[in-house]
Structure 1
Amino acid sequence: MEINKKIKKLLSNEDKKNPLTDQQLALKLNVSREKVTVTRQKLNIKSSKERLKPFLVEEIRSIIKKQSNISIRELTKVIQQKGYNASRYLIDQEIKKIKSPFYKKEKEIENKEIKNKKNGSNIEDPFQTVIGYNGTLKPQIQQAKAAVLYPPYGLHTLITGESGVGKSYLARKMFEFAAQNRKISENKFVVFNCADYADNPQLLYSHLFGHVKGAFTGASNDKDGLLSKANNSILFLDEVHRLSPEGQEMLFNVIDNGKYRRLGETETEHKVNLMIIAATTEDIESSLLATFRRRIPLIIELPSLKKRELQEKLDFIKLFIARESKQIKRKIILKYEAVRALLAYTPVNNIGQLESNLKVICAKAYLFFVTEVKSQVEISLDILPSEIRRSFLNESVDREEIRNLLRDDIKVEPALDRNLITSQEKNIYNVTEDIYKYIEEKNQELSGIGIPQEKINTELTFRIEEKISRLFDMTKEDFYKNKNMLKGVIGEKIYNLINEVMVMLQEELPELVLNSQLQYALAIHLDAVWQRIKSGKLIKYPDLENIKKKHPQNYAVAEKVINFINKRSDITIPRDEIGYITMYLNTVTGPDERENDQSEIAIIIVSHGMVASSMLKVANYLLGGSKVKAVNMSFNEAPNKVLKKLIALVKKIEHSKGILLLVDMGSLTGFAEIIEEKTGIKTRAVARVDTVMLMEAIRWSKLKDISLNELVARINQSNSTNLYNKKKHKVLLIYCMTGEGVALKVKDYLLHRLFNLEREYEIITTGIYNKDLEEFIADIEAAKELVGLIGNLRPQSFNSNIFFSVDEIFSEEGLERFKERVGVQEFKQEDIKIDKLIDKNIIFPLLKVNSKDEVITLLAEKLKEKGVVKDGFLDAVKKREEWGVTYIGSGIAIPHADSQYVNYSQAALAIMENSLDWSGYKVEVICMFAIKDLGVECFKEFYKILKENIELIKFTKDINLIKEALLNG
């Protein structure tokens, strides 16, 4: 029986008061929870909570009809006694809806939309462009519409959700909806970021409410504030959690009475009619005053990207790539495997980060196109960042659902806009500017990791030639035969100057007569130079003296060109430009040589078994294809037979730059000499091939000027000592000004969050109150590679890019920056092991306490002392207890809080000497979980061991024995 039939059958017989959760269904069907969730959604079956609600609401209505003043606590007790599996929090939410007139308004809107749809209304709903309009966000959009239409001026609303989920975007759509429905008379969406004045109440008050002359020093005139601007419209308060308590209190009178006073006014009150929309990423219970929360009647919670439907995630990907496609005026091809990886990837900062990532990815794809690495703007698996490439393997996604969404590559076309310049113009213009950017960035990157300048110059010269060749290839297009179009792009001044330059060049180099390609290429290049100089950007050529020695004639002509331009123009072009002009001249004065250099070195990979073809398949998959040939040898195949195959193959393939054999065993390297002797074709061999070597060989073989011997030298050098990585032992230094205690706490935190960190880096912790920090760092750097420094004071002479303050490391943003800069993101992060959860210093056997609150406070404070949790954890745990009791049976309670208050996963354990009342249940063991990176399976395993060993744990004072029981059962 298919899974959808099985699910339908199980749900048809479920207890309506206790609907089966996806996890329970998964256990019954022996499949993953994700599989059940996806199948249920495809069948349009609601979640267990949504299936429960109709019955629960009916039960609540029945009870409050008889007992209208019943408390939430008593109501919850009655409901649960009737057999409903419903928390106090859920019951509280539903009874608020039942009693709220806003709930009726939401239903009215839903009915009106259904009616309009039946009547074929053509009114365009601003929300229809929101991804998830009829999907994941349908309830939130219905709430938003109801809030806007609520009389008289709309219902003040708080939008919550993680960073990057689209809170500001939803607020903007609410404004557009209000304007469309004439709920606002002033078409102004007034935005105020509360973070800007969070620490200055006076400026905050002035900015929001305005001030009168003389209200404070510098107030020379009366000034209206944002409230006045937002009158008869909407005021959006972004990052409202950054408002101080005083700032929140300032808004009370506005929300309650629609009145306010400007700063400095004592009697006059101003009337204002407006709707306030606020947004926050924080937990509102801990970040906003209770009195402020009560004044905001509607809370709309936006889900994270991970909780959105996969189709919606694909829509976001298409949308963001379409924007970039419009920007570069070119079609972008999104390869099938790349889409799969992107769908599996869950960015930390949700939709915002996904958009940012795709901008970078599209830029990289465009660069590969411009530099002719690829023939089209193509997002393939190999150009995705490593964390995205790995996501399809690591994330728990439903591959079948991805297959149902995708069958092939996705082609994204740019939106047509005739007012924009053509894609051809922009591509050519950007090629020239990209030469400079590439040189600056690559030079800085390579010199920063210790590559000799000579090698850097050689590499950059290759790249400049490739880019200039690309520019000349573009000038073959018919577009550039239209001189008026060229003049429109670069301006008449530069156009006329280049015409004069061409006259001079033709006198020096007669072969350039009528060479329009050079004219167009130089025109575009000179315009980019002009703009760069005006903006104050330096122009450098990586190896000017070497160019002068290799191409003396063209160098001398280029020098005359620069001198000529400097005399005829109002800016001075630096001498480094002589190098670039020389390269342009080289390109057109030696076309035959340039064409011949386009061929690549032929590569053949030879290995025993089926390894050669397998390695080539992987390399082609990651690099997007190659001309490499693979020869598989069986283990009992005679070498002479293989040699004959190779000779026949060598004669067939293009070999103008020679043949490279990559072989698995050293004995096969002798084939190269025999092949060259038999065929007369230059052949070289490198042994101990692996996939990485093959990929490097393929990439390097595409370099225009590389010879066969140079390619072999590069591969051998890469095998012995990696050019791009220092081999010194890598070190992280963590220090504290007053002693080693804080440094050890930071180390403990990092090892819990980044489980493989200690395998890759030596971690040194120290106090520096009695040390010269600069000297201490210098001693480390003399023998080792210092890749990161964490402390509470930055050394003046130290590289700030790899310094991290202690406070920064304990923030999620800071940890992400640390991972990126130090390279930790390359590590495979596995689920935390149970031994990481247990610390004997936070196990308390036979504890004597008098109340639930007392033991919660004790355990939370111990976790705080150890650095496991942040400020606010204790309050969050207590708040969680108010929503629903955390007793889980067998005399065990597991109080906990949201992961935003946790630095790393840890469990604190208290074993009561006498059982403790836990909201009506008897509890002997309290396990307080601080959950950050904890895997579900790890939690289940820990709880299973705890439950199985509960009798031993309850009656022993030996902490080591308790820890041993929890670790090994």
Structure 2
Amino acid sequence: MKNDLYNYLKKITENFNKDNAKLFSANSIAKKINLSRSTVSSYLNKGVKQGNIIKIKEYPVIFLDKEVFSRIYFKTSVNEYESLEELFNEGRKIKNRDPLDNVIGARQSLREQIEQIKTAVLYPENGLPIMLVGPSGSGKTYLAKCIYDYCIQENLIHENAPFISLNCAQYYHNPELLSSLLFGYTKGAFTGADKDKKGLLEDADGGILFLDEVHRLTNQGQEKLFTFMDSGEYSPIGDNSINKKAKTRLIFATTESIQSSFLPTFIRRLPVIINIPGFSERTQQEKLDLVDSFFLKESEILKRSIKVSKQVISFLLSSNYDGNVGKIKNIIKYSCGKSYVRMKDAEVIKVRITDLPIECEKHIKENINHQFLNRYQDRTYDYKYPELLNINSKEQKNIQKNITAVYFQFIEKFKQVECGDITPDYYIKKMMNNVNLLLDELIFNTEFDQDQSLFSILSFNIRFSFKYMEETYGFKQDGNKILSIASLLYFKEEHKILINHPDWSSIRPKLLTFINSYMKNASYLAKVILNNLSKQLDYPFLDEDLIFISFYLNGTNIQNVKGEINSIVLAHGYSTASSMANVANRLLKKNLFQAIDMPINTTIDDIESKIIDFIDNHIIENGLILLVDMGSLSNLSTRLKDKIKCPILIIDYVSTPLVLEIGSLLLQGKNINEINEEILKNIKINKQLVYPVGKKKKAILTCCYTGMGSAIQIQEILQKSLNHDNTPFAIIPYDYKKLKQNKLKELPFQIYDVLAIIGTSDPKIDGVNYIGLDQLINGEEIEKLIDILRYNFQFDEQQLKKDLVFNFSIKRIVENLTILDPNKILRLVEKATDRIEENLNIKLSNNKRFLLYVHSCCMVERILRKENVDDQNDISQFLEREKRKVEMIRYCFSEIEKECTIKISDQEIRLICDIIFSH
């Protein structure tokens, strides 16, 4: 509604004049867009306060879009005027403003220089010579032209007076030719001089001669020039007896040091030496004004509206090409041209970061983590033109056709799943195969330059995403994955394909839900990649690309993504939150904290929206910590408690020490309850732990006395038995010792309705069903598990019973291991267990024997994978105290060590002891 209003105001402001002013009243606008006058008036006045709308307070009060008005008429100094006359009086003053005052930076970084120029220009007689000193491309030629315009406005020269420009560098190796160009020559002065010829000094008589790269003049050329500067007289080459006069104003420009490049006698005749700052030395506002002016110029040349992303603006403002304003101008010209060719059918061409020339690639990569992306809004430069460029190669059309076919299959085959014609498993396998075939075609059978700017930058940013996932979740980088995803996005560009499918709008939400359910990890990692590309490269995040990449990643056998406690720093200011998060992540050597930088005028609605967006796109089942900078705690907790599915710990008045303290607790593996209890016990801070309200999701916990390894094994077997992807509850492996110690205070009981605990030892939690692993293996408790599930869900009981019996057998458990030969390892473990009974003269219960089988098989695989068990602080005391038992158990497992070529650690031996001798 608000956007419709503002868009309408933009449109009509393009045709504003004094005669149709009444069309711009709140009442007239309200009638046109079918809103109440009070609502329209409220929005318009809010826009005035925000600086986006001009208000003229005569009767009736009228409103104009400030951006459009400034582009068509002039830039206004304020947002409110008493009358139209006052508004247009300001315009007349601006129109009559001298050309030097219109130079970008005239009131800031160039203020002193403009004063120097005016002093030199207005000096009596013929003014003073001016030397402009600055980096190549810093705008010296443009400033010289502005000086010429200023001279005309001040009636110092005639409006038709000449402005002649010469770049002396072109004649550096031929000083005689340069001298003849400047001073002219007489007939016979040199071979080929068959007649008298005027020089540029004479051509510029009554106007201005601008000599760029003047340091290229020889000493002789400098001497002849300063003679003219002294007397206004000169002699043509070939006859020193001739004295010519000219009233020519001189402007010089150089990129070199004055002292080292010119004769002292020449320097003494330069009373006005003006240093021009390079692009990097300009103020941020001046840089933005320069960039704006270049894009506006391209808009006029291309006769198109140009929309420029904030990433491009940010990159240009942070670039440092040897202080070269001209270089920035050329980059903008190239980027607009590339976008013009690429978006052949669009009325508005969009310039994005991948449209920048390939030479910018290094700078883009170096600045991938810059923290100022959110300072600038996308900018649009309007210039309408009906002609469209239309090019497309046959090869590219074939590629697009193949990509479209695969994308359409996502929908067509999913419709068959909905009808029951194919199973979800078949659909997933079919789509993964289609995706891989297309990627093979793109990578191996299509010719393209992988060094091109777009492909190279895509690859770099995807690699950056993978690095983040590796550091945060242990997800390994893979060159094939990077190449595959980059190839897809390179060939597809940003085209929306599925929007052309008639069923996309109805299928889309169901298909996304299907992917989130059946391919949770792949979907999450795909979101990470696309979110990063969207942020860094203004690449559109399309749901259809999320679907494609999810199927691709799912086919690469990715590991489960471990859900950890997420933490966000939210602070007002351009980089306050980012700075704190970066410092903490570097010191703690892990990506523990995300940052959200907020403008000072950010509303609580904006903050809530950003948090909900983060929750929707991250795995946060173990909780979320929000570190906020000022007074948002109570409002946030009230707003979020009905919308969250995990506990959120909100802490006010964030600081770097506080962030580091929380990071330290996260590294220790503390859960969100423990962090809430321990955080800065001796310092008074405001904090609040908010749990989800409403109906809790049901869950089964798995645990093992010896650690998480077997708990995860039990979880995976349950998932297979219950076809977990299609069940409405969670199966969560959890730390046995925490369950036994903290009981119902542990996190899962706050988040979930826990139906049962399945494990190797009972943590004895009141009101929660416990089923022992050994009882599932021998079949005793399968009926109990089915009864629990029957009460809560509908399923095929006979099929589930068969699956449980089949999967919860010793052999099936061991077969879930990926490295070991199950028959061989079971035989070795059985032999080791028999040795334990014989050598220690004990009889193990069935429960302990089953547990020892499972634990020992997992232990061998764990050692082969080089995975460590949890630290044991008292291991030295234990080894000393139980020396005989340790030696005996090590002897009993010696054959396993030999056959599997492993070394069983003291910590592993201690866990085996715990199983054997626990009560």
TM-score by structure 2 length?
0.36
Q: Which has the larger radius of gyration?
A: 2
TM-score, length of structure 1 as denominator length = 0.35
